[in-house]
Amino acid sequence: MPQQQTLQPDDTSGTVVKLKGKPLFYYLIKQWPFHLMVLPSLVFLIIFAYLPMGGLVMAFQDYKPWLGLTGSEWVGFDQFRYLFEREDSLQVIWNTLIIAIFKMVLNLFAPFVFAILLNEIRKQLVKRFVQTLVYLPHFLSWVILGGILTDLLSTEGGLVNRLLTGVFGIQPIFFLGNGDWFRFTVILSDVWKEFGFGTVVFLAALANVNPSLYEAAEVDGASRWKQTLHITVPSMIPIAIVVGTLALGNVLNAGFDQIFNLYNSLVYAKGDIIDTFVYRTAILNGEMGFGTAIGLFKSVISFILVVISYRLAYKLANYRIF
């Protein structure tokens, strides 16, 4: 449709050549109402996302509030060196990775499966009810859930342990006091809390699948299971890649508020993560330089991972997000 092309000149490569001939601010002036509409979010971004990046210099300083960013002493990479010199730093990074990766994978897998199952329910009322019910926990804070979990999982009369001993005859398990069980509890409770919310995205993807595909499959004699396998799952893969790629940016976030409300000194070896570590060393001691250094370190790692996964997603699944 040639007419449309002239209406939207930026979309075609042909007009790019044309663009070169125009002065720099030609389109800015010509389309000023659109640029004006973008302005607030641009200002917002500059003020709240780009300007604070200047504070990153703190990571290389022995920051003192009264000396400010310009007056504080430069210490080079000392803050980073300190992060890796601590006897337990590798352990803390390892804990973070294990907990975060398990959470990431399960939080991708569980909603994926659950959305497919939920989609098979015929009765709309039941479907809506279940959907609401499973995403409610997402809105509870870990401060509250931490207290509830501690009571539920108690070895002295906690509901879960009473069930385990009463029904299965197992010795009470000290979920929050044993390192391995602690990780298990943290990962599982996080998945329980978040999978309902994740399901919403996948349900939206399912609603977009072209019904004619199913009709065609039915004509071809495909069973429900075959339909799921060959139509539903492939059509959900792109959105799963988007969700997975975005989640990868959080690979060094194992969930501060959850761990902070559940951990104790018995599980330091397997439950202490970067964020709780930063809270104790940087926030409680007012070491802003150190806190910033770790924040920068996490951001750089996350950035690298997001770039890699983005490239992989494009290469393997031929899918582009941006």
Q: Which residues make up the interface to another protein (CB under 8 A)?
A: 64-66, 68, 82, 86-88, 150, 154-156, 174, 176-177, 264-266, 268-269, 272, 277, 280-281, 284-287
Task: Report the alpha-carbon distance of residue 89 to residue 212 in Å, rounded.
Answer: 55
Q: Which residue, 31 or 285, is less far from another protein as judged by CB? A: 285
Residue carrying structure tokens 């010509």: 30
Q: Least distance in Å: CB of 190 to another protein?
A: 19
CB of 171 to another protein, least distance (A): 13
Q: What's the closest the beta carbon of residue 69 comes to another protein, in angstroms?
A: 8
Q: Which two tokens stand for residue 166?
A: 């009463």
Q: How far is the CB of 281 from another protein (least distance, A)?
A: 5
Phi, psi of 297 (to 5 degrees): -55, -45
- Asked if 262 and 149 touch (Cβ cutoff 8 Å), the reply is yes
Contact 56, 296 (CB under 8 A): yes
Q: Measuring CA to CA, which residue among 185, 222, 192 is closest to residue 114?
A: 192
Q: Of 308, 193, 307, give the one whose Cα is nearest residue 255.
A: 193
Residue 74: phi and psi, rounded to 5, are: -80, 135
Tokens, residue 67: 């000396």
The nearest distance, CB 198 to another protein, in angstroms, is: 30
Closest contact distance (angstroms) between CB of 264 and another protein is 5
State the DSSP string of 143-162. HHHHHHHHHHT-TTT-HHHH
Q: Which is closer to another protein, CB of 195 or CB of 277? A: 277
d(CA 286, CA 282): 6
CB of 50 to another protein, least distance (A): 20
- Name the residue nearer to another protein (CB basis): 137 or 177: 177
Question: What is the CA 97 to chain-centroid distance, rounded?
Answer: 13
Shorter beta-carbon distance to another protein: residue 172 or 238: 172
The Cα 78–Cα 62 span in angstroms is 9
Which token pair is 155? Answer: 């070895």
In whole angstroms, the minimum distance from the beta carbon of 208 to another protein comes to 43
Q: Which is nearer to another protein, 88 or 218 (CB)?
A: 88
Q: Smaller CB distance to another protein: residue 34 or 94?
A: 94
Residue among 68 and 234 whose Cβ is closer to another protein: 68
128 residue type, one letter: R
CA dist., res. 145 & res. 138, Å (int): 11
Residue with smaller CB distance to another protein, 27 or 174: 174
